[in-house]
Chains A and B, each alone.
Chain A
Amino acid sequence: MRVLAISGSLRNASYNTALLRALQEEAPEGVEIEIWGGLKSIPAYDTDDDTVPGPDTVEAFRELVREVDAVFFSTPEYNSSVPGALKNALDWASRPLATNSFRNKPVAVIGASAGAFGAVWAAAELRKVLGAMGARVADVELAVGQAHEKFDEGGALVVDEIRTGLREALDVLVATAEPAAAAA
């Protein structure tokens, strides 16, 4: 199974991107996790530019989502909501709605923040947006609060409990993507 991992943060030392690196380390055999590095290349959504085909980076993103079996998001929280860059990329991906590449795509959302609540509001808003786009939102919740205390200087996750949470979240996403295989 091929899973695309998307961090909502562009920062080099992002805790959310670091969480996705830890997710890669925890992935079981048969699950390949690829961290997307294209978020910054997506232009601001403009209906005037929403042509067929769209901008190259947007088309590449849409195609990548189409190719993978599932998408795993980790998002920070800006002003109680989803970071603008991430929402913008999803707005592009959602067009046109009826044939958008997230339609029926299994997705999972977790979050991390330096605050106490671990981006729970942003994660909830992101699930709402993905649901409206027609994605198959897995029943996953993992909120990593006080994120600056959970990684070492090299950006490696040092809390075993969170590693367990990542494995469990990935298991739920895989089961959501392959219900028949999970039931067998």
Chain B
Amino acid sequence: MSITEQTQQGIPTGTWKADTVHSRVAFEVPYAVATFTGEVPDFEATLQDGVLTGVANINSIKVKEENLETHLLSPEFFDAERHPEVRFVSKSISRNGNDVEIDGEITMKGITKPAKLTGTATGPAIDHFGAHRLGLQLQTTVDRNEFDMKWNMPLPNGEPALGNEVTLKAELTLVEQEG
């Protein structure tokens, strides 16, 4: 994509919706000596008059092993049967240059906790179709135990296989909606 012009800085007013082809919602969690990663491809994100809202359909979760998807959807993790959505709603957004900080609340498995998202903002800028685009690269870390996802399995050395600190990432391309 060709971005022809950077027009302004700051968090814009109006309604901006995620172009999901150029956006991504993902997670990372330490597993044994590595990092286990996955994505939730079915999601929506909207920035409306300074409030960022994101809703992800957890049933769309994708990891590299199908059987692990089943386990992640089970009551031991997301309990997707009873809690099919993961939701984030911002309470305040501040931008300083390219740095952005968003305070809000995240809801997983029906449990809502405060969360601070940090990252960078790019744009708004005009793409080669004339649309205004704003990029947000955000992440936060949550303790999965606080969301009643307590499964673990000891390694031979007795240490738990799965980490508790989960990094949640949202790489959003938000497109301004015409009035």
Contact = CB atoms under 8 A, between A and B. Distances in A.
Interface residues of B, number: 13
Contact of A103 (B66, B70, B82): B70
Nearest to B69: A98
A134 B70 contact: yes
Interface in A115-134: 131-132, 134
Contact of A104 (B66, B67, B74, B151): B74
**Most chain-A Cβ atoms within 10 A of its Cβ — which of B66, B69, B73, B74?**
B74
Interface residues of A, number: 11
B38 interface: no
B6 to A, nearest CB: 46
B81 interface: yes
**Most chain-A Cβ atoms within 10 A of its Cβ — which of B69, B75, B76, B151?**
B75
B70 A137 contact: no
A62 interface: no
Contacts of A179: 82
Nearest to B80: A104
Nearest to B151: A131
Interface of B: 66-67, 69-71, 73-76, 79, 81-82, 151
Given A98-B69, A104-B74, A132-B71, 8 more contacts: A98-B67, A131-B75, A131-B76, A135-B75, A136-B75, A137-B75, A137-B76, A179-B82
Interface of A: 97-98, 103-104, 131-132, 134-137, 179
Closest 5 pairs between A and B when the two form their complex, measured CB to CB: A134-B74, A136-B75, A104-B81, A131-B76, A98-B70
